[in-house]
Amino acid sequence: AEAEQRYVSANPGSAKLNQGARATMPGGNTRTTLHYGPFPLAVRSAKGSKVTDVDGHSYVDFINEHTAGVFGHSEPVIQAALKQAIDDGLTLGAPNIYEHDLAAAIIARFPSMARLRFCNSGTEANLLALATARAVSGKPNALIFGGAYHGSLLYYSHGPSPLNMPIPVIESVYNDTDRAVADIAANAATLAAVILEPMQGGAGAIPGTPEFLKALRDACTKHGVLLVFDEVMTSRLGPGGLQGKHGITPDLTTLGKYVGGGMTIGAFGGRGDIMDRFDPTRPDSFPHGGTFNNNVLAMSAGLAGFTKVLTPAALDRMNGLGDSLRDRANALAAKHGLPLQATGTGSIFGLHFHTGPIRNSHDLDAGEKGREHDVAALKKLYQLDMFARGLYVTRRILGNLSLVTSQADVDLFIEALDEFLTSRGTLI
């Protein structure tokens, strides 16, 4: 209560904005992800690794637009590309000078994609990938893994969201190789695709084991089922995404988030024989429109970002810094003797308040069982305490670094976490 009172008094501008927005948007919100009580911080501007809220507080950003903000804020090369594109004119109603180059830059990093198509969001990319798999295979079903977030219309946390598209799904268990392989074999006749993130992101930063991912690849090949990797979040975890790190070639891949340099984007691509069904010159081609599929802001910003900023060396540095953050967080848990563990890979991390194994969402539920309310209260306290120390973090305790997150930023995060564990350790 005291931490919340302090938050309310410190943020009158954010409170006022949220109050006003409640008249026009349900709960004052248009992105559920950005909601937390009593009201979320409203951000006015951002530069480098910092955001500034409407009440003038500056924070080191560990939300980074939920992994879409990989470049850091107001990245100058991308801003210059955007300004040029604006000067040259928007909504051109034609193929433009950027789209092929962006596609080529992506394909060069992700050789599993012989060809790709752009769309407007990660959600759309996943819907299109599943629709494509259904259309080419003539089979209706998709196999998904519990806890998965593949977008606002493809959400499977504690059962399917009521808003999900009516694609029939078989739900399997992440990192349970025997179960997943058996599910694929048993359903092969009706299964168009298996879709998964090679590390479950929103579900809690849970890496897929190499054996699990490889077994899925083998089972899909054996049973004639398409393997779809949703790398909307994980593609930043290595120059060729997690598929590159694991040496696994999915049939289809979906991308989004940072690929548009901060502008709205999605992309899906994969095997040439599948993607070429979108060739409009073919008599049997799949029609796929989309007014903004090739919008010049996303294409030009994405191209500049991908080719000039997101170098393999820059990605490796960022992901290495993320690995060190995770190691240091786990060392703090040991130092304080507290049931806390950091999960994730590279620049994406999750913090969880228990020490049991975390292989999937069932393990997360089991680890918090019987104390869900306490854990929720603890996560809220964590966020409010970190805000008070100048760190912009999520209440779900999923965080990520950007290319401009510095060693000093990480040091600050670890110091603040240390202080949090010192002052609130008894509650854990």
Positions that interact with ligand PLP (CB under 6 A): 66, 121-123, 126, 149-151, 197, 201-202, 230, 232-233, 256, 266
Comparing CB distances to ligand PLP, the nearer of 11 and 360 is: 360
CB of 23 to ligand PLP, least distance (A): 25
**Shortest Cβ distance from residue 27 to ligand PLP (Å)?**
19
For ligand PLP, which is the closer residue by CB, 255 or 378?
A: 255
User: Please, which residue, 53 or 230, has the CB nearer to ligand PLP?
Assistant: 230
Output 232 or 329, the one with its CB closest to ligand PLP. 232
Best CA proximity match to 192, nearest among 141, 230, 227, 128: 141
Q: Closest distance between ligand PLP and the C-beta of residue 350, in Å?
A: 13
What letters, b where the CB count within 10 A reaches 16 and e where it falls short, cover 82-119? beebeeeeeeeeeebebbeebbebbeebbebbeebbbb
CB closer to ligand PLP, 40 vs 266 = 266
Angstrom CA distances, 131 to 96, 114, 125, 128, 140, stand at 27, 19, 10, 5, 9
Mapped onto helix, strand or coil, the DSSP state of residue 288 is: coil
148: closest CA among 218, 82, 211, 201? 201
Beta bridge partners of 348: 345, 400
CB of 121 to ligand PLP, least distance (A): 3
Tokens read off for 344: 């994730």
Q: How far is the CB of 152 from ligand PLP (least distance, A)?
A: 6
Residue 343: which region, alpha, beta or left (left: phi > 0; alpha: psi -120 to 50)? beta
254, burial (CB in 10 Å: exposed 0-12, middle 13-18, buried 19+): buried
Q: How far is the CB of 49 from ligand PLP (least distance, A)?
A: 21
Q: Which is nearer to ligand PLP, 105 or 129 (CB)?
A: 129
Whose CA is closest to 299, among 109, 119, 75?
119
Question: Judged by CB, which is closer to ligand PLP: 11, or 319?
Answer: 319
Give the pair of three-digit tokens for residue 295: 């919008």
Peptide bond into 111 cis (omega under 30): no
- Which residue has the CB atom at the shortest distance from ligand PLP? 122
CB of 162 to ligand PLP, least distance (A): 18
